[in-house]
Amino acid sequence: MIVKMTKIRIMGPKALLPPVTDLLHNLGMVHIESRPPDVQEIDEILLRRFSIEAPALHTKDSLETLLEQVKKVLLLLPAPTAESPSAAVGAPSDGTDRFFIEAGLKIESLVARVDQLVRKKKVCADELSVLERYGKILQALSPLISQVRESRDLDYLGIAIRMKEKEVIPLLEQAMVRITQNQYEIFYAPVDAEVLAALLVFPKESDAQVKSLLWEENIGELRLPSSIMNKPLGEAFKIILRKRQDLPRRILSVDRELSALSRRWYLSLVELRAWLENKISQILVSASFYETKMTFVIYGWAPTRDLGSLRQRLTERFGGRVVIDPVPVDEREQGRIPVCLKNPPWLRPFERFTKILPLPKYGTIDPTPYLAVFFPLFFGMIIGDIGYGALLIIASRIARRRFRDNPSVQDFASIFIAASVSSIVWGVLYGEFFGDLGGRLGLHPILMNRMESFLPNLFLALAFGVAHILLGIGLGIFTAVKHRRRREIIAKLSGLVLIAGSLVMTAGLVGFLPRPAVTAGLVLMIISISSMIIGGGASALMEIHNLVNILSYLRLMGIGVASAALAFAANKLGSLAGNVVLGILIGSILHALNLIFGIFSPTIQSLRLHYVEFFENFFQGGGLEYKPFKKTTLERSA
């Protein structure tokens, strides 16, 4: 649900502003209002925006400079794998210039050392990456180099030829005969099944012509790194091979030093980062305060239920010198009331789906409880299999255990546990356990057999569609009544009558009701459309779209039957394999594919039915997020 908010005003002597700011920061309850409309209308001589003084601005600049250095070090250092003693950078008790100077020197020295190590590692890694490209070819050419007599008059080139282009070799040799007057040698060595390495030896005066030939024939020349390009080929290859062994050791040495620095400094730096962020936020937030000659005034929003606790803490700390009062909310401020979603623990994971969209406006409806009910219901209705549901529960519980420190994984695992339980319940109703395997084990459908009962399945999907859409319209009417939007009330009530009329007419057409029901339903539809136009305007005709929206719920049947059919096919193909092991393998692969589709497709379709068909009847997005002025904690900053 959306937490009820109260606009508040906190006032007191200007001398108490620092401790009041610090208390509010610690409590983390108040969403500071930066530009309340009523303040803008007050004579600036009486109440003016608080101005940050030069010393505070200087302190803020110093803090921000230090914070940037701390962030840089934390980005470069690897996170420690275990707790260990950490050198104290120290968060000051008084925030003096001496602290900034000492901490700045420590951090500056640490940044320089870490930066040096990171650059050294990058140089080694880049060089190793370049050398690795020569790996296989070097190994192939190394034995050939020992066969070659090095001379100042000879030049050497390594080349790589693809096996599928071997026909270029005779042409290459003919061209070498012509260019070098038959004064050349060529040695071959296979690199792998696809590449052949070759070493060309020829007089230095033919170097330009040979390289031009290789370029024309699109033959890859082995270009040595610039640091050893001018070395004799044999010596160059030895240097490369030696570096390929030495560079990983140098990289490992750098990693060890970085890890040692991380164990020594990381946790202390995280603590310092949190302290710096908090001090900077305290200075910046003061720009949203107001003042007179003798007093300060803070405007903001707080949850109504926390107002008593907030008043009590201010009274305990400052007695009657600091007062807090609720302030009437101006009509112009409705769009600025911050929105905070607060649901019971079992509903809270579903806020992940709600927050995919913009927050609902204050004073409207939080859709989270409805998502928590209908998402698992629709998901389970589509999968509808005991076996698949059980596997999803196991996978979700493993994910929760494996990623205990990841809130997102925890929430989504909880969602899919609920959806999997729904899948098992629907599987019992359908009599499905890995498709028709349940029937072979004596399991019988209670509600229907999805592969045979087409019409009952269709009517069930439409019934859920009607119920879901009618609920959405009902919530829309509730919101419209709450905000006294007469035209919207008429439009949505007419929409209800329209759906009722269409249901009566359809029931008459298919024989569920007497034939006169067709006429009665048609009359209701005409009356509802007329009232939409007269009472709600032309835009109200969008309510007619709900009739089409109801048909969208047929996807619950269609995708569900497709899943059941694939499970049935997996069992059938497995039984036709003629071999028990092969049959189990085929069936398992097909069931695994079906389960993967069964995770993504029902999730997407269930959310679509909410976001598109259901929400459009009542959901109003664009709410301003509730961001209380509170301290950065180590957990958040780490």
3-state secondary structure of 157: strand
The strand pairing partners of 202, in sequence order, are 155
| In-domain check, residue 217 | yes
Tell the burial category of 401 from Cβ atoms under 10 Å away from its Cβ (0-12, 13-18, 19+): exposed
Instruction: Check pLDDT > 80 for residue 10.
Output: yes
| Mean pLDDT score, 364-370 | 92
| Mean pLDDT score, 496-524 | 83
Is residue 243 within 8 Å of residue 603, measured between CB atoms? no
Q: Give residue 445's pLDDT band: very low, low, confident or very high (50, 70, 90).
A: confident
Structural domain total, the chain: 2
Q: Give the HSE-up count for residue 562: Cα atoms under 13 Å, Cβ half-sphere.
A: 13
CATH number for the domain that contains residue 220: 3.30.70.2750
Residue 539 sits in the same domain as residue 409: yes
Instruction: Check pLDDT > 50 for residue 638.
Output: no
| In-domain check, residue 332 | no
The alpha carbon of 298 is separated from its chain's Cα centroid by a whole number of angstroms, namely 35
Per-residue pLDDT, 80:
78
Return the closest-CA partner of residue 1 out of 339, 349, 337, 484.
Answer: 339
Identify the domain boundary among 247, 281, 304.
247
Which residue reads 């050398």 in tokens? 131
Identify the domain boundary among 204, 221, 247.
247
Beta-carbon neighbour count of residue 461 at 10 Å?
23
Spatial separation of the C-alpha atoms in residues 335 and 154, rounded to whole Å: 82
pLDDT digits (tens, 9 = 90+) for 128-144: 877 766 666 666 666 66
Instruction: Check pLDDT > 80 for residue 289.
Output: yes
Spatial separation of the C-alpha atoms in residues 236 and 234, rounded to whole Å: 5
Spatial separation of the C-alpha atoms in residues 557 and 560, rounded to whole Å: 5
Q: Give residue 442's pLDDT band: very low, low, confident or very high (50, 70, 90).
A: confident
| In-domain check, residue 317 | no
Average pLDDT, the chain: 82
pLDDT digits (tens, 9 = 90+) for 63-109: 888 888 888 888 888 887 655 555 555 555 554 556 666 676 778 88
Instruction: Check pLDDT > 70 for residue 318.
Output: yes
Per-residue pLDDT, 232:
60
Per-residue pLDDT, 236:
67
The strand pairing partners of 298, in sequence order, are 10
Is residue 187 within 8 Å of residue 199, measured between CB atoms? yes
Tell the burial category of 240 from Cβ atoms under 10 Å away from its Cβ (0-12, 13-18, 19+): buried
| In-domain check, residue 91 | no
Percent of the chain with pLDDT over 70: 86
Q: Give, in order, the Cα–Cα distances in Å from 606 to each of 1, 392, 612.
A: 21, 17, 10
The DSSP output letter for 200 is E
| Mean pLDDT score, 504-517 | 82
Q: Which of 276-280, 331-335, 490-494 has the lowest mean pLDDT?
A: 331-335
pTM: 0.72
Q: Give residue 636's pLDDT band: very low, low, confident or very high (50, 70, 90).
A: very low
Q: Give residue 43's pLDDT band: very low, low, confident or very high (50, 70, 90).
A: very low
Spatial separation of the C-alpha atoms in residues 144 and 449, rounded to whole Å: 73
Residue 536 sits in the same domain as residue 395: yes
pLDDT digits (tens, 9 = 90+) for 227-277: 665 666 666 667 777 777 888 899 999 989 888 888 888 888 888 888 888
The whole domain housing 195 covers 127-247
Residue 590 sits in the same domain as residue 447: yes
pLDDT digits (tens, 9 = 90+) for 609-628: 999 899 988 888 888 889 99
**CB neighbour burial string for 412-436, b if at least 16 within 10 angstroms, e if fewer:** bbbbbbbbbbbbbbbbbbbbbbbbb
Instruction: Check pLDDT > 50 for residue 637.
Output: no
Residue 559 sits in the same domain as residue 419: yes
Spatial separation of the C-alpha atoms in residues 10 and 323, rounded to whole Å: 6
Who has greater pLDDT, 291 or 537?
A: 291
Is residue 180 within 8 Å of residue 230, measured between CB atoms? no
DSSP result, 348-366: GGGHHHHTTSPPBPTTS--
| In-domain check, residue 2 | no
Q: Give residue 417's pLDDT band: very low, low, confident or very high (50, 70, 90).
A: very high
Phi (first) and psi of residue 548, to 5 degrees: -70, -40
| Mean pLDDT score, 315-328 | 89
| In-domain check, residue 82 | no
| In-domain check, residue 623 | no
Spatial separation of the C-alpha atoms in residues 354 and 58, rounded to whole Å: 42
Spatial separation of the C-alpha atoms in residues 19 and 432, rounded to whole Å: 65
Spatial separation of the C-alpha atoms in residues 458 and 454, rounded to whole Å: 6
pLDDT digits (tens, 9 = 90+) for 468-508: 999 999 998 898 888 888 888 888 888 888 888 888 888 88
Q: Which of 73-82, 336-345, 445-454, 459-468 has the lowest mean pLDDT?
A: 73-82
Which residue reads 């084990």 in tokens? 441
Residue 377 sits in the same domain as residue 516: yes
Residue 452 sits in the same domain as residue 582: yes
Q: Give, in order, the Cα–Cα distances in Å from 596 to each of 563, 567, 591, 599, 616.
A: 11, 12, 9, 5, 30
Structure tokens at 275: 């302290």
Identify the domain boundary among 247, 281, 316.
247
Full 3-state SS string of 176-229: HHHHHCCCCEEEEEECCCCEEEEEEEEEHHHHHHHHHHHHHCCCEECCCCHHHC
Is residue 307 within 8 Å of residue 51, measured between CB atoms? no
Is residue 247 within 8 Å of residue 128, measured between CB atoms? yes
| In-domain check, residue 624 | no
Phi (first) and psi of residue 141, to 5 degrees: -85, -20
3-state secondary structure of 260: helix
| Mean pLDDT score, 524-550 | 77
pLDDT digits (tens, 9 = 90+) for 142-196: 666 656 655 667 777 777 788 888 888 888 888 888 888 888 888 777 777 777 8
